[in-house]
Amino acid sequence: MGMNLVQKIISNHLVSGRMEAGQEIAISIDQTLTQDSTGTMAYLQFESMGVERVKTKKSVAYIDHNMLQEGFENADDHKYIQTVANKYGIYFSRPGNGICHQVHLERFGVPGMTLLGSDSHTPTGGGLGMLAIGAGGLDVAVAMAGGPFHLIMPKVCKVELKGRLKPWVSAKDIILEMLRILTVKGGVGKIFEYGGEGVKTLSVPERATITNMGAELGATTSIFPSDEITRQFLIAQGREADWTELLPDEDAVYDEYISIDLDQLEPLAAKPHSPDNVVKVREIGPIKIDQVAIGSCTNSSYLDLMKVARILKGKTVHPDVSLVIAPGSKQVLTMLAQNGALADLVAAGARILEASCGPCIGMGQAPATNAVSLRTFNRNFEGRSGTWSARVYLVSPEVAVASALTGVLTDPRELGEAPEIEMPEKFLINDNMIIPPAKEGTKVEVVRGPNIKPFPINKPLPDRVEGKILIKVKDNITTDHIMPSNAKLLPFRSNIPYLSEYCLTPCDPDFPKRAKKEGGGFILGGVNYGQGSSREHAALVPLYLGIKGVLAKSFARIHRDNLINSGILPLTFVDSSDYDRLDQDDVLVLENAREQLRSSSIITMKNLSKGYEFKVNTNLSPRGVEIILAGGLLNYTKEQNV
């Protein structure tokens, strides 16, 4: 029986465990990436491990999120990351060099390697044939220190792409179709491996768009083969030596199968307020729009923006529409400037932003009150744009630019003949914004600004865990709900005490005050609790507030891992009706906690307020149990090294 792509890479990196779906495995990590929104905390954790130099083949620190410098905070964090990278052997991508995923695809990604990133959209690297996984910062810190990454072996789902896309239909429509079929929960516990004849029609940037938004499916990651198209991309990037052919065996077996006929797709849009609320553009109709934003790690490649420039050339953006464009990298921006496309964008009325995440993470360009904003981004959660009343639609660059010209949501097929953009034979190579680390790090001084505060560390789990339910929330609570990440709060990513004042405030403005008054307690959640960003702040801030456990119907993968890493119990209901029986202010107790966790995954809790017992599932591996008992991954790691 042959092996699929996922099995081939994992088998080459397997440290422990068996490659059977549902079994815990550990894999070695070749590369890591961080960005400045999560990086400060990751490097503080790495420093606490006492390792003199990173032990990966390559680690890169990117500055791409916290780009607005209204005060000293962001600049101080950038200086800290630059100096810590210099000291410990990490490459540093300076502000302005571009979005981590786009730059990593261009300059560092290697087919067949493993990549762990402290950003949920790290799977973008799967477009290049990498096994690229998003994780919390502490997991990345452990990997940089030479430790393996532990995960539950996912199911591998083969996505057979048939035919080829019609004009005006794009890779964005492929992943939106996946979301329409599977929903934001449909990829949990899975890796999507793309194959079929349709794969040969997609460039590496198009493949990366698809793997990028696999994160919205809840997938562990997504991957494309490394083939001749991959080779040509790496040749154009001056990196042919990094190419390795990576194809599944002809008799490869998969756990699940999905088939998508590319010939049948048409322009799609995800309506507010979820990436899986997908319908055909023509079915929504010509609704009036106020803003169009093109960019993000999903759709900011050279090919994407060249299409936009070609469509805009000689035209003018509708007077009622604000059009903003953020190139994905300095490479993209420079090439647009050199070939005249940038002038076409500016002449048409587009506002050019720097090469960064920008409005995708709510860092500027918030829409007007009640505005309709079309965005080529990957998330449209309520309030993420910076304006709670805004209605955000996720669309392809083709739909976005067509609508920017007409002032209403427009099917781009109405514009006539689609532009044909060829992949460059050679990209512009200039890595002067990437700083290699010092050869001798011991002489480098790490600079820490006053906004950088110590991160909270949990204590070993006591035998009796008691507390009130401090809040009861609905299904699909995102990390944006748990730890808001708008332009006002992003500068304080390295200041957990300050952030604690805003934890879960989109759900209940009084939550932080109540948590502090009660000395901590429990959070009660619904289905898919913690979906969205990989930010471990959504676990570290509740830890700071004394949260002992989260009871939910189900968890998003990365957030559950972050809770475990922080020593917070992630508990799911054996009987989901128990969610309805529990209320805010109920007092819960877990007795003989350490013994119960060691003896069974099904444990008993008591509702002292209402006088009954109920069962919850920890779903912890033996290693996960020990991490919780130790009070988190950092404590556990230090114990293991003794």
The pLDDT tens digits for 424-451 are: 999 999 999 999 999 999 999 999 999 9
Name which of 147-156, 489-498, 584-593, 633-642 the model is least confident about.
633-642
Contact (CB, 8 A) for 402 and 272: no
Whole-angstrom Cα distance, residue 434 to residue 449?
A: 23
* Other Cβ atoms closer than 10 A to 508: 17
Q: What is the DSSP string of 32-85?
A: EEEEHHHHHHHHHHHHTTT-SS--SSEEEEE--S----SSHHHHHHHHHHHHHH
Average pLDDT over residues 191-206: 98
On whether both 255 and 276 belong to a single domain, the answer is no
Rounded mean pLDDT, 111-121: 97
640 falls in which pLDDT band (50, 70, 90)?
confident
pLDDT tens sequence across 205-228: 999 999 999 999 999 999 999 999
- What angle do the packed helices 557-565 and 633-641 form, to 10 degrees? 60
Domain for residue 453, yes or no?
Answer: no
Q: With 80 as the cut, is the pLDDT of residue 106 above it?
A: yes
Please list the residues that pair with 374 across neighbouring strands. 292, 393
Please say if the pLDDT value at position 176 is more than 60: yes
Specify whether 43 is located in the same domain as 135.
Answer: yes
* Residue 256 maps to a domain: yes
Per-position DSSP letters for 335-382, written without gaps between them: HHHHHTHHHHHHHHTPEEPPSS-GGGGTSS-PPPTT-EEEE-SS---T
The percentage of the chain sitting over the pLDDT mark of 90, rounded to a whole number, equals: 91
Whether 384 and 524 share a structural domain: no
Q: What is the pLDDT of residues 280-323, one digit of tens each?
A: 999 999 999 999 999 999 999 999 999 999 999 999 999 999 99
Within 13 A of 627's CA, how many CA atoms are on the CB side?
Answer: 24
Tell whether 610 is covered by a domain.
yes
Residue with tokens 């990604």: 109
Taking phi over 0 as left and psi of -120 to 50 as alpha, with beta for the rest, 297 belongs to alpha
Instruction: For residue 9, list its beta bridge partners.
Output: none
Find the largest Cα–Cα distance for the chain.
Answer: 73
Q: Which two tokens stand for residue 161?
A: 């792409």
- Taking residues 512-524, report their average pLDDT: 97
Average pLDDT, the chain: 95
Question: Are residues 244 and 309 located together in one domain of the fold?
Answer: no
Spatial distance between the Cα atoms of 320 and 364, rounded to a whole number of angstroms: 19
Q: What percent of the chain has pLDDT over 70?
A: 100
pLDDT at 642 > cutoff 70: no
Compute the distance between CA of residue 334 and CA of residue 427 in angstroms, rounded to an integer.
10
Work out how many domains the chain is built from and give that number: 3
Q: Report the candidate in 303, 125, 300, 313 with the shortest Cα–Cα distance to residue 222.
A: 125
Average pLDDT over residues 136-160: 96
Distance CA 391, CA 384 (A): 10
Give domain status of residue 433, yes or no.
no
Can you say whether the dihedral through the CA atoms of 550, 551, 552, 553 is positive or negative?
positive
Query: What is the domain-level CATH number for residue 471?
Result: 3.20.19.10
What CA–CA distances, in Å, run from 113 to 88, 260, 565, 608, 632? 21, 27, 25, 51, 28
Together in a domain, 281 and 253: no
Kindly give, in sequence order, each residue whose CB lies less than 8 Å from that of residue 640, ignoring residues fewer than 6 positions away: none
Kindly state the average pLDDT of the residues 601-611: 97
Nearest to 100 by CA among 77, 72, 66, 76: 66
What is the residue-wise DSSP string for 76-95? HHHHHHHHHHHHHT-EEE-T
226 and 281, same domain (yes or no)? no
Out of 215, 248, 263, pick the residue that ends a domain.
263
Strand pairing category for 268-270 and 278-280: antiparallel
> Considering 395, 412, 429, which residue would you say is the last residue of a domain?
412
Check whether residue 235 and residue 167 sit in a common domain: yes
With vertex at residue 287, the alpha carbon angle to CA 281 and CA 291, rounded to the nearest 5 degrees, is 95
pLDDT at 637: 87
Q: What is the DSSP letter of 591?
A: T
Residue 577 lies in a domain: yes
Instruction: Say whether both 236 and 291 belong to one domain.
Output: no
Q: Is the pLDDT of residue 641 over 70?
A: no
Is there a domain that residue 429 lies in? no
Confidence (pLDDT) at 486: 81
Per-residue 3-state assignment (H helix, E strand, C coil) for 122-158: HHHHHHHCCEEEECCHHHHHHHHCCCCEEEECCEEEE
The pair of three-digit structure tokens given for residue 333, joined into one six-digit string = 């921006």
Q: The domain spanning residue 253 has which CATH number?
A: 3.30.499.10
Same domain assignment for residues 282 and 250: no
Do both 151 and 286 map to the same domain?
no
pLDDT at 620 over 90: yes
- Within a domain: residue 278? yes
Give the pair of three-digit tokens for residue 558. Answer: 């990365």
Cβ-contact 60, 32 below 8 angstroms: yes
Q: What is the DSSP string of 428-460?
A: ----TTEEPPPS-GGGPPPP--TT--PPP---P
Do 246 and 280 belong to one domain? no
Tokens encoding 598: 């060691």
Establish if 244 belongs to a structural domain. Answer: yes
User: What phi and psi values does residue 133 have, to the nearest 5 degrees?
Assistant: -130, 135
DSSP string of 284-309, one letter each residue: H---B--EEEE-TTTS-SHHHHHHHH
Query: Do 254 and 307 sit in the same domain of this protein?
Result: no
- Where in the sequence is the domain holding 563, given as residue range(s)? 465-487+494-641
| Alpha-carbon separation of residue 640 from 8, 567, 612, 620, 629 (angstroms) | 29, 16, 39, 18, 13
Last residue in a domain, options 230, 263, 296: 263
> Who contacts 600 (Cβ-Cβ below 8 Å, separation ≥6)?
none
pTM, rounded to two decimals: 0.94
Do the strands 131-134 and 149-152 form a parallel or antiparallel pair, or are they unpaired? unpaired
d(CA 386, CA 363): 8
- Contact in structure between 526 and 579 (CB atoms under 8 Å): yes
